[in-house]
Amino acid sequence: MAWALGGLGLAAVSLPLGAQDTAPPPAATAEEPAPDAVPTRFADLNLGVQEPPPALIGAAQFAAGSQFRSFDMSPDGARLAIARKAGKRQDVIFIDTATRETNGGLNVPEDKSLDWVRWAGNDKLILSISFPTMFYGVSVRASRLLVHDLAKNVTFPLKVGRDVIWGGDVVHVAEDGSHALIAVQDNLMQTPSVYRYDLVPEGAVEKVVRPRDGVWEWYADEAGTVRLGLGWVNRRLKVYYRKDGAADFALVGKIKAGDDKARYWSVVRIVEGSDRGYVLEEGENGRVGVRLFDYATGEPVETYWEHPQWDVEELWLKRDGTPLAATYTDDRDRIHWFDAQRGRTHASLQKALEMEDVSIVTRSRGDERMLVWGGSEADPGALYLFDPAGKKLDLLSNYRPDLDFRLLAKPQPVRYRARDGLMISAYLTLPRGRTPKGLPLIIMPHGGPFGIRDKLAYDDWVQFLANRGYAVLQPNFRGSGGYGDDFFAAGEGQVGRGMQDDLDDAMDWATGEGIADPARICVIGGSYGGYAALWAVLRNPERYRCAASWAGVTDWDKMLAYDRRFLTGKAGKSWQARIRGDEAFDLDAVSPYRLAAQLKRPVLLAHGTADDNVPFSQYTLFVKATRAAAVRPQTLEIEGEGHGFSKPENEQQWYEALDAFLAKHNPADPLPQAVSAPGATVVEPASPPPPVP
């Protein structure tokens, strides 16, 4: 077991900004009321001007993602720190915000991952580094925090115990960068203490808060006094609070996991010199809003702001602790501004950039400089340096410079009514340069399935398929997040049943409106979406031409048994009830593995061998069960990959395999052309697919 970090190998470099390349930073638009009538008819869609089909974008360009990993601006606004990863190269570069020139940087070795960066004062940078290691014979990923002093050009670790895997969480950083409060475990058997680290090599380390049972999150006020701790113990959320640094922590609240208000409760900040602060909390109406909270009594004082339709997702505060803005999502991310001047600034940025989504990614303490991202659901976007006083906005870099946004398609919100009358929101992306009638359609259900949703935001999978000539429809089926408690509850016990009906009803809407050719419809998804794709062609082979699944569940009983290993007894029962519904319901009836021998449609089945979310055994079960099927699945196994895509080359394998599969079984053009999939370990099915009726 080796924990020494002396061989980290950070070195000073001078690098050009160059081409930058994971999803764009979270963005929100200036607040606008959600449209009163989202289109429910094809004739109401804004289809734009017809044009020739765009050029094909290579799979490698979609898989590359963004090189950007993290951004932070120094408090004085003079420097911007950017963490990047391109292939095996990882580095941090420093940008002079006045000249936009690169001013030094750091290299990170290939065996370490650079996760994020944060300034401590104007001359020091805290870096989070993670790396694989062995702990008692088990492979784990450990993390450590390091500090780079730009003035002295030295880098040093913040020391922790030798048997600690998690390197710590930053609770507070002194304004001058002299010290920081870090929550870190003393050993693996304890919850974290809070330590005060002097940010100099071999600096003093002092424990300022001892561990509390179950508390993993510690909060400090602006003065750097740790005032609040949160943690779950035996399915209860415990809240510990103290008035000031001289007082002892007292347990001021216990929230049962079954309590109505336990669905969401999040501390935003504690105001110095006050017992009050702001939290995001679910109210009696089932909606998350901004509440003014009295930590001394453990009771809410008043509702500060609540949207009439949507949950509040984030609250931004000013330096004095008063609210600046709240974010929520209707069809896209939105901002409700409490500060009129900042709202006007944001609106002017949107107008200047002519982009739907604009986000201030990071800014100086006094707002002298800002890093702004602007983009849309059809554009990964670009980064700009903004000088508010001079009203100057300079392009710094495209977010994905190797991906030509001019070739991308624009998703649009639509709505349709499910068979039981429930209104379903969805997003339709039509391929450019094709008559929007009788198109080959991809239905793409999201993962989760509960509490997750799609929205108007850039998506590589969607754009890859639209670029190849397919219409893509993303239904937010019942149980999806963001539509209120009733819509969420409508999905409980409906896995493979009502949720799947919503996908079939999406198909009926698209074909009924003439958008899709009913003989050329496939279902594609990942995780739960992968399950739904498999279940679509097994439950209704007469409807769907083919399916493609990445990391999909194939046997629900085995999946629930696997999940129970990571959940408490009560949590395991609750999750099982949400999936199963009626205790007497046999999940075999909605498990693809159990019906795999009946497979009649082409399937691309793909999985990562190191997936610890949906285990690889779910894949192998299905493959074995299809040995007697009329059609064997085409398979793709990616060695060492997890539930998502950690490496661009792995995601590229998936895109290339999917491209070849669709070109063969559901071509977008009347005459299919062979598409090769170099580098992908693909096994073709032994039997040809039956004709589509």
Res 68 pLDDT > 60:
yes
DSSP 387: E
Mean predicted lDDT score pLDDT of the chain: 85
For 9-76, the DSSP string reads: --EEE---------PPPP-BEEP-PPPS----SGGGS------PPPPPPPHHHHHT--SEEEEEE-TT
Res 570 pLDDT > 90:
no
Res 112 pLDDT > 90:
no
Find the mean pLDDT for residues 477-494: 91
Predicted local distance difference test score (pLDDT) of residue 9? 40
Predicted local distance difference test score (pLDDT) of residue 42? 59
Res 8 pLDDT > 60:
no
Collapse the DSSP code of 468 into the 3-class scheme (helix H, G, I; strand E, B; otherwise coil) and give the result. coil
Predicted local distance difference test score (pLDDT) of residue 43? 62
pLDDT-derived band of residue 262, with 50, 70 and 90 as boundaries? very low
Structure-block tokens of residue 334: 């939105």
Res 604 pLDDT > 60:
yes
Predicted local distance difference test score (pLDDT) of residue 318? 83
Find the mean pLDDT for residues 301-322: 88
Find the mean pLDDT for residues 165-191: 92
Quick: pLDDT tens for 265-311: 566 667 777 788 888 888 777 788 998 888 887 778 899 999 988 88
Quick: pLDDT tens for 531-546: 999 999 999 999 999 9
Find the mean pLDDT for residues 20-40: 50
Name the burial class of residue 624, with classes exposed (0-12), middle (13-18) and buried (19+) by CB atoms within 10 angstroms of its CB.
Answer: exposed
% of the chain with per-residue pLDDT over 90: 60
Predicted local distance difference test score (pLDDT) of residue 502? 98
List CB contacts of 1: < 8 A, sequence separation 6 or more: 133, 134, 135, 136, 162, 163
Collapse the DSSP code of 374 into the 3-class scheme (helix H, G, I; strand E, B; otherwise coil) and give the result. strand
Predicted local distance difference test score (pLDDT) of residue 483? 86
Predicted local distance difference test score (pLDDT) of residue 263? 45
pLDDT-derived band of residue 583, with 50, 70 and 90 as boundaries? confident
- The dihedral through the CA atoms of 565, 568, 569, 572 has a sign that is negative
The more confidently predicted of residues 157 and 32 is 157
Res 672 pLDDT > 50:
no
Predicted local distance difference test score (pLDDT) of residue 279? 84
Predicted local distance difference test score (pLDDT) of residue 132? 81
Predicted local distance difference test score (pLDDT) of residue 47? 61
Find the mean pLDDT for residues 527-533: 97
598: left (phi over 0), alpha (psi -120 to 50) or beta: alpha
Q: Among the ranges 106-110, 240-244, 588-592, which has the highest mean pLDDT value?
A: 588-592
First to last CA, the chain: 61
pLDDT-derived band of residue 10, with 50, 70 and 90 as boundaries? very low
Find the mean pLDDT for residues 113-133: 92
Binning the chain into helix, strand and coil, the percentages to the nearest 5 are 20, 35, 45
Predicted local distance difference test score (pLDDT) of residue 584? 84
**β-sheet bridge partners, residue 134:** 139
Res 78 pLDDT > 80:
yes
What amino acid is encoded at 661 in this protein? F
Quick: pLDDT tens for 452-481: 999 999 999 999 999 999 999 999 999 998
Contact predicate 630/690, CB 8 Å: yes
Cross-sheet strand order for the sheet of 392-398: 357-363, 370-376, 379-387, 392-398
For 127-181, the DSSP string reads: EEEEEEEEETTEEEEEEEEEEEETTTTEEEE----TT--S--EEEEE-TTSSEEE
Predicted local distance difference test score (pLDDT) of residue 5? 30
Radius of gyration of the chain (CA): 26
Predicted local distance difference test score (pLDDT) of residue 157? 94
Other Cβ atoms less than 10 A from the Cβ of 4: the count is 8
pLDDT-derived band of residue 646, with 50, 70 and 90 as boundaries? confident
Weakest-pLDDT range from 24-33, 136-145, 207-216, 549-558: 24-33
Q: Among the ranges 83-87, 564-568, 630-634, which has the highest mean pLDDT value?
A: 630-634
Predicted local distance difference test score (pLDDT) of residue 111? 83
Contact predicate 375/391, CB 8 Å: no
Res 93 pLDDT > 90:
yes
Structure-block tokens of residue 321: 């602790």
Res 342 pLDDT > 60:
yes
DSSP 623: H
